[in-house]
Amino acid sequence: MTAPLHFRDARIVCPAGGERRGDLYVTDGMIAAVPAEGATVIDCDGLVLAPGIVDLGVAAIDRAAFRAGGITRVGLMPDQSPVLDEPGIVQRSALIGRPDLWIHPIAAATRGLAGAELAEMAICESAGARAVGTGRRWIADSGVMRRVLDYARDLGLALITHAEDAGLTGDAVATSGETATRLGLPSAPAVAEALAIARDLMLAEDADATIHVRQVTTAAGFDLVRAAKRRGVKVTCGITPAHLLLSDIAMSDFRTFALLSPPLRSEEDRRAALAALADGTIDVLCSGHDPRGPEEKRLPYADASPGASGAETLLALALGLARDQGLPLDRLFALLARNPARVLGVEAGVLTPGAPGDVILIDVQAPWLIDSEALAGSAGNTPFDGLPVQGRVRRIFKGGRELG
């Protein structure tokens, strides 16, 4: 049992209740309606008090980065070593972070993520899996994909997909266009994303299954998701700050920190992503945290590994987007906390009575410089190295217990 807490004079931001100035109470690790006797008083002095971030689709467990970024729960991608396709591996993954971090494994949809044989999703769910996923790959066989959707639907789990038609992407490291041509990089057309999304949405609609497209990054992809939502398809989608703030121009100097999966897109697609954020097409803002050391990044661009360290910078970049795009903070924390929790089927991401006492105290005005050499995580491979930002987590609480 944890000691009761009384957060006094906070700017409380709740995706379910809006924003207000006042007090918040935590008793027995849960948000409470009234203060408990003998509660420890924490004077917030007007700082923002918000739900702990639920980061959907991280590639690695990086406790220091998560703590610095205000992340209290993560959806762990199935692309681990070994792959999360066996109940013992799933169960171990779900337990290793507690009590400081709750890890919600995304079990592999197919054995070894090979896209051929279905994995034992039901057993993995009983071991702690909160969703099933295709990892960094797309399931090319439509028959297999339909069976995966049927199985996930019957289990009441969302299928989290990667949307790139591998028949088009091959070994590409960039999006086809002027930048890729000028740099002489192997590239693939942006339509590879839309083709994958179109097929998956049609199958999900036919199966009446729930599907989450982990990252949508193109105008055509957003149009497909938008239209599917209008038809009542059970689809949600996410994006990282990188695809909202950067276009393929960012890789013009062959800087491998800008090598991502999916790759950076054209400026037109980036603007379409901002429009999708504004109109509600995008449901989840995630870090895509995929830390890579110098042995994987200090290579020629075409030989380096894709991925970025995004957990520690997610909140500051998201706050900047909210300021620039006019998003209210309660909407922002729906993207960062409530909506990803819903995809995973967990009761979190809000500050209403009965919810977990996962809260972060934020100074939204605190200025700092993103420095790849100074990040707390296991690697600092961020495409935002050197960018001045605002917004720092001052204190973080998991289940009513402060994390040091």
CA distances from 403 to 64, 70, 267, 336 (A): 11, 10, 40, 20
Over residues 108-150, the pLDDT tens digits come to 999 999 999 999 999 999 999 999 999 999 999 999 999 999 9
What are the structural domains, with CATH classification, of the chain? 52-351+365-387 (3.20.20.140)
Confidence band (pLDDT; 50, 70, 90) for 404? confident
Percent of the chain with pLDDT over 90: 99
Q: Which two three-digit tokens encode residue 2? A: 């944890």
Over residues 332-379, the pLDDT tens digits come to 999 999 999 999 999 999 999 999 999 999 999 999 999 999 999 999
Average pLDDT over the chain, rounded to an integer: 97
Over residues 37-61, the pLDDT tens digits come to 999 999 999 999 999 999 999 999 9
CA distance 167 to 274: 28
Over residues 64-117, the pLDDT tens digits come to 999 999 999 999 999 999 999 999 999 999 999 999 999 999 999 999 999 999
Contacts of 168 (CB under 8 A, 6+ apart): 188, 189, 191, 192, 195
Q: Is the dihedral of CA 56, 61, 67, 68 positive or negative?
A: negative
User: What is the bridge-based pairing of β-strands 235-239 and 284-285?
Assistant: parallel
Taking the model in full, what pTM does it have? Answer: 0.97
Q: Is 125 in contact with 157 (CB distance < 8 Å)?
A: yes
Q: Is 221 helix (H, G, I), strand (E, B) or coil?
A: helix
| Residue range 214-218: mean pLDDT, rounded | 98
Cis check: omega of the bond before 82, within 30 degrees of 0: yes
Q: Is 224 in contact with 197 (CB distance < 8 Å)?
A: yes
Quote the radius of gyration of the chain (alpha carbons, Å).
20
